[in-house]
Amino acid sequence: SDLQKQEERGELLQPLTFILLVLCSVLLYFKVSLMDPGFVKSEEEAGNSEEQSMVIPQIPSNIKMRRCGYCMVKQPMRAKHCQLCQHCVRRYDHHCPWIENCVGEKNHPLFIAYLSVQLVVLLWGGHVAWSGLYFEQSWDWLQHHIFLLMSFLLLVIFTIVVLLLLISHLYLISCNTTTWEFMSHHRISYLRHSELENPFDQGVILNLWRFFC
């Protein structure tokens, strides 16, 4: 059959790979959106103070853990209360409306993986849409290709958004800072009173290693 001949020529490998990437993207989306991003629990309070002093020796000793005014747990360093999730999140980055969940200590690496796979899918889909377009200056051509043209333009917009988001996150990760810390540096006590601009930065290689590994 034609399908067997296509398989023998290797013509089915590309569409199957694309479908697998799409499925991987969907699974990562649900995983990141449904998992615990690193909610602070009351039983974690006991070891937080000692842990912070060991991990971040550059932080001034007069900066103490504070109790959250909303959920009443003691916030570890770099944690923040999310009004939408109604929880304090460890190493809080931001609340993402795309996944309707916080991005924090536990799901941040998977969020980066999701963005990366999503970018590959969008670039591949954009390439396929572009290859099907041949431009003519006529109303008939526009009528027959309007759906493909709109799809291509949407793919371009989404690709730009995902690419910029991925680049910005990789930059912040390489500096060992979060979106919240980057945007609110002047309002965060442990950053405002620190002698270093970024007391968590330990060099690009070590920052990336500790984040992903």
pLDDT of residue 73: 86
Q: What DSSP letter does each residue of 178-196 carry, written as one string?
A: -HHHHHSGGG-HHHHT-SS
CA atoms of 152 and 128, how far apart (whole Å): 9
Residue type, 22: V
Q: Is 96 a catalytic residue?
A: yes
Among 32, 179, 182, 181, smallest CA distance to 109 is for 32
Question: Residues 85, 96, 102, 213: which is the catalytic one?
Answer: 96
Domain boundaries, the chain: 1-34+106-175, 38-46+65-105
**73 phi and psi, to 5 degrees?**
-95, 155
Residues 6+ apart with CB under 8 A from 135: 141
pLDDT of residue 100: 92
**pLDDT for residue 76:** 86
Residue 54 confidence (pLDDT): 42
Assess contact for 172 and 178: CB atoms under 8 A: yes
**Neighbour tally for 52: CB within 10 Å:** 18
pLDDT along the chain (213 residues), means of 10: 54 84 95 94 56 49 70 87 92 93 95 96 88 62 71 91 96 95 88 83 93 90
- Phi and psi at 189, nearest 5°, equal -60, -45
Q: Is the dihedral of CA 152, 113, 198, 72 positive or negative?
A: positive
pLDDT value, residue 10: 59
Question: How much is the pLDDT for 43?
Answer: 62
Alpha-carbon span 7 to 128, nearest angstrom:
20
